Structure 1
Amino acid sequence: MGHDLRPFSLFTLFVNIALFLQYHTNATIFDIRNNCSYTVWAASVPGGGRQLDHGQTWTLDVGNSTSGGAYRIWARTGCSFDGAGRGKCQTGDCNGLLQCQGYGTPPNTLAEFALNQFNNMDFFDLSLIDGFNVPMGFSSNSGSTCSGTRGVRCTGDINGECPSELRVPGGCNHPCTVFGTNQYCCFSGPCVPTGYLRFFRDKCPDAYSYPTDGGTSTLTCPGGTNYRVVFCPS
């Protein structure tokens, strides 16, 4: 019995090691750092969530593909959770869970990404389509040749200068969230960036400020690139 099992066990071990190395060699790693002077509760789909005090980093392995489409990382603020990881957040709350399983409640600044897509390229951007709560930066972290070497940043004082109609505790809502009209939500036809949309565009020109916003907002990197997401970049 022992003689028969030993070769099988060794074979299984070698196969598991090979699969482990293949997965982690191709995996994409996100270093998510909190440079804010206050605590944030980082959230990621996929990935879950993590409390980050000032200066702390969450190293997140998201695998090597996002076959389900674009995924996102964001910060939650004003959170309180019990020992079971249940509670609520002032901004970015995801159904009252520390370990997010779905997207956050607006307003929340978004880092969006899709891995190994067309021509094995990664696509990433910052988005204000769900509003704004925390300044963010999003860039390559592995020296890859990307379309934007400096990445994208959104550091404008949107919370401080948010129009009163959009202002909520801890953040600034996107006008689509508040008014729900085609003018701001772009249900049909192109949006014209005037008024509230222009406010977001002027404050954070690197970020998507409305659904049909284009130009330089989306960057690309080769598949297998690692990334850095920073809350409150200096």
Structure 2
Amino acid sequence: MKNFNPSATSFLLLFTCHFILSTNGRVIGESVAFYVSNKCPFPIWPATASNAGQSVIEGGGFSLPSGQTHRIHVPPTWSGRIWARTGCSFPSPSKPACQTGDCDGRLACNGTIGLPPATLVQVGLQPDKSKPNFYDVSLVDGYNLPVTVTTKPVRPNCSISGCEKNINVLCPQELQVLDGNGAVVACKSACLAFDLDMFCCRNAYGTPEKCKPNTYSKVFKNACPTYYSYAYDSPPPLVNCYSKEYVITFCPSKWGAHMPM
């Protein structure tokens, strides 16, 4: 985890980030359902990490073959994140076990935060219908797969659409993460790649007035306009809609077909 830069995601404290899942398949109270769908032409390994003080949900990770959907029941006050790992081999004699999003070589992350870069779905649920749920998709630490988030049934004003272009194809060389065959499997954010205050929006650059979009964040924003491209992205691409069911779809469009195995 030595490459993980917590300051790159500190802006997420603007709301209580929330996540997705139930413990050993048991519904806890009046739960919310998340349907995690894999439309990539290859298997993925979705993973979850809860916020501080929350219990681990769904063991923190599971496998999801291409074309399948996995339903998860989430406590109504849960908060955290979900992402997809790619190119995994379990059990693995070495670490990392995945090409992207690895969590200490484990299938069940058990609360461990994934190794960036990885596209993050972040959610903060509230049980009171008068206080809507919050969710977003963040590229603050980088990108590996496109993803959409929608309510069920779909409401246009409550949806986060996928990417218009494949960031892994557009990724500048200095941000690229390559597999053993030299194919780009993920794209780092400038903060993750260079660890500079001006890219990480910290210290002298720790305000929206000081930390502006940069050449690299603009690549992300151009490809995925409904995602956070950097910490102080404005207007904030944050959705707040109450629902009892949500759908998270990885590789929702033609771009999934261009992802390496």
CA distance in 1, matches of 2:160, 2:194: 31
CA distance in 2, matches of 1:64, 1:155: 32
2:170 alignment partner, one of 148, 152, 161: 161
Q: Please say if residues 76 and 127 of structure 2, whose CA atoms lie closer than 8 Å, have aligned partners that are also in contact.
A: no
Aligned residue number for residue 213 of structure 1: 233
CA distance in 2, matches of 1:21, 1:117: 15
Q: Please say if residues 140 and 231 of structure 2, whose CA atoms lie closer than 8 Å, have aligned partners that are also in contact.
A: yes
Q: Closer, same or farther in 2 for the Cα pair 1:117/1:179, shift >3 Å?
A: farther
CA distance in 1, matches of 2:219, 2:158: 26
Q: Please say if residues 91 and 106 of structure 1, whose CA atoms lie closer than 8 Å, have aligned partners that are also in contact.
A: yes
Aligned residue number for residue 187 of structure 2: 172
CA distance in 2, matches of 1:193, 1:176: 12
* Cα distance, 1:214 vs structure 2: 3.3
Q: Closer, same or farther in 2 for the Cα pair 1:171/1:83, shift >3 Å?
A: closer
Aligned residue number for residue 4 of structure 1: none
CA distance in 2, matches of 1:149, 1:164: 35
Q: Closer, same or farther in 2 for the Cα pair 1:52/1:155, shift >3 Å?
A: farther
1:65 alignment partner, one of 77, 88, 94: 77
Q: Please say if residues 199 and 214 of structure 2, whose CA atoms lie closer than 8 Å, have aligned partners that are also in contact.
A: no
Matched, 1:120 2:134: no
Letter in 2 for 1:198: K
Q: Please say if residues 88 and 98 of structure 2, whose CA atoms lie closer than 8 Å, have aligned partners that are also in contact.
A: yes
Q: Please say if residues 27 and 73 of structure 2, whose CA atoms lie closer than 8 Å, have aligned partners that are also in contact.
A: no
CA distance in 1, matches of 2:75, 2:64: 22
Q: TM-score, normalised by structure 1?
A: 0.80
For residues 138-197 of structure 1, what are the alpha-carbon distances to aligned partners after superposition, in whole Å with 9 as ceiling and x for unaligned?
A: 111246x78x24333235210011000000121000110011112211111222112111
Letter in 2 for 1:110: L
CA distance in 2, matches of 1:155, 1:54: 21
1:54 alignment partner, one of 52, 56, 66: 66
Report SS of the residue matched to 1:112: strand
CA distance in 2, matches of 1:199, 1:166: 11
Counterpart mapping for 1:31-110 below 5 A? 31-45=35-49, 46-47=57-58, 48-66=60-78, 70-82=79-91, 88-100=97-109, 101-110=111-120
Matched, 1:185 2:185: no
Matched, 1:134 2:145: yes
Letter in 2 for 1:128: L
**Pair member with larger Rg:** 1
Letter in 1 for 2:125: L
Q: Closer, same or farther in 2 for the Cα pair 1:216/1:95, shift >3 Å?
A: same
| 149-158 or 125-134: bigger deviation | 149-158
Alignment RMSD (CA, Å) = 2.4
Q: TM-score, normalised by structure 2?
A: 0.72
Matched, 1:232 2:251: yes
Report SS of the residue matched to 1:154: coil
Report SS of the residue matched to 1:31: strand
* Structure (1 or 2) with the greater strand fraction: 1
